[in-house]
Amino acid sequence: MTRRSHLDNAGLAGLPPLAGDFGGDFYRGKRILVTGGTGSIGSQIVEQALAAGADVVRILSRDETKQLELEERLARHLDLARVRFLIGDVRDAARLSRAMEGIEIAFHAAAMKHVPACEYNPFEAVQTNVLGTQNVITSAREAGVARLVVISTDKATCPENTLGATKLLAERLVAAAHLSSPGLNLSAVRFGNVIGSRGSLAPRVLRQLEEEGCASLTHADMTRFMMTLQDAVSLVLEAGSRGQGGEIFILKMPVLRVLDLIEVLVEEHAARRGKPAGEFPIRVVGIRSGEKLHEILITDDEARRTHYDPKGLFVIEPLARAAVQDAKAAAEFQERLDSSRGPYLTRGEIRGLLSRGGVIAPLRKSSKAGSEAPAPRVVELLGKV
């Protein structure tokens, strides 16, 4: 039976919002580098670090147009005298070494992040996600950086695709460097799917509905852990301020069925056009190469050295420091961190998540088109489910 969660006044699915002080004044006066600093996550790390009083924030990325766009956005409300834009690639060790000079805290957000791109370009994914991460670690160690946070993904847990495999290797590089770099505090964070990030599911579905009048679904039973962009950035900054070294930080995230998410998006799209949702079919197109039906956040081994933090975090401790959980406690962690086991968000909760993530605006109470319209039609293509 499908299990459902319930919202209360504490936050989404009963989860309190992650504390937003990131260790109080921890980032005030610090010199910070963000690789991939023009991406959805990286640019928000930049903004939050500047708002927290960082002395200098350097942005390393490959795309000069995105840098110009970010510069214009930051100029509207922040002091650009504290910002440095650097064109560069994490594959370029020499450029990274220059970027790391004088830096105290580094956030490694640069990566290949999309499953199909990594599947069809596996060595490119290795060069960026594995060799690039090692370049970041090496340059940070040689430059005397005090703290480094590496961003990973739930796909690194028992990986079945190239993206997950490269991110698992990146996590292992962090673990190895933690043991061999006493002057560098390293930690990692594992994300679920980030609602509203560039190239993520919800914006793609809305764009598809606008341009094609239909939405694509790869499998009707697919489930995913979800987090907002704000929660993702809060997790990164929390890890940067409190990590003791070697940990992997994971946010306690809600779980949803992807079909429910797409149906909500179809209903929202239809309501805003005054049309019945049934006019916008959902096509089942089959699972893409490398795509998993469900995600898990921790392995059997990791569950035995994981503890739950009151701020809404699961923390996987490094082997050298872990207090091993008994088998029953470890099994409970695993059940809570397996998307196939729910509990799943209701449609109302999904709407709240999309609204909180800035993907949709709340409908006016007078708008009834979506609620009175027939449900979206799910159409199977080529016999794929």
Total domains, the chain: 1
Q: How many residues does the structure list for the chain?
A: 385
The conformation of residue 374, written as its DSSP 8-state character, comes to P
State the pLDDT at residue 166: 98
Q: What angle, rounded to 10 degrees, do the helices at 201-212 and 258-272 form? A: 40
Instruction: Tell me the residue type at 45.
Output: I
pLDDT value, residue 383: 43
Would you say residue 103 lies in a domain?
Answer: yes
Q: What is the pLDDT of residue 324?
A: 59
Q: Is residue 231 part of a domain?
A: yes
What pLDDT is attached to residue 191?
95
Query: What does the pLDDT read at residue 21?
Result: 52
pLDDT digits 0-9 by tens, 238-289: 999 999 999 999 999 999 999 999 999 999 999 999 999 999 999 999 998 8
Cβ neighbours, 10 Å, residue 11:
15
252 is catalytic: no
Residue 158: inside a domain: yes
Q: How much is the pLDDT for 163?
A: 97
Whole-number pLDDT of residue 335: 64
Q: What is the pLDDT of residue 327?
A: 61
Active-site position among 30, 66, 155, 292: 155
Mean pLDDT by 10 residues, the chain (385 residues): 34 41 78 97 95 96 96 91 97 97 98 95 98 98 98 95 97 94 95 88 93 94 94 94 94 94 94 92 91 92 87 88 62 74 93 90 50 59 45
pLDDT score at 374: 58
Whether 1 maps to a domain, the answer reads: yes
Indicate whether 365 belongs to any domain: no
Strand 378-380 with 282-284, pairing: parallel
| pLDDT tens profile 171-180 | 999 999 999 9
Give residue 44's domain range: 1-194+225-255+296-346
Q: Is 133 helix (H, G, I), strand (E, B) or coil?
A: helix
Q: Which CATH number characterizes residue 68's domain? A: 3.40.50.720
**pLDDT value of position 332:** 65
Helix (H, G, I), strand (E, B) or coil at 136: helix
> Residue 197's pLDDT is what?
87
For the record, the structure tokens of 94 come out as 């020499």
Residue 375 lies in a domain: no
- Domain annotation covers residue 48: yes
The closest of 273, 254, 270 to 262, measured between CA atoms, is 270
Report d(CA 305, CA 137) in Å as an integer: 24
Instruction: Let me know if residue 36 belongs to a domain.
Output: yes
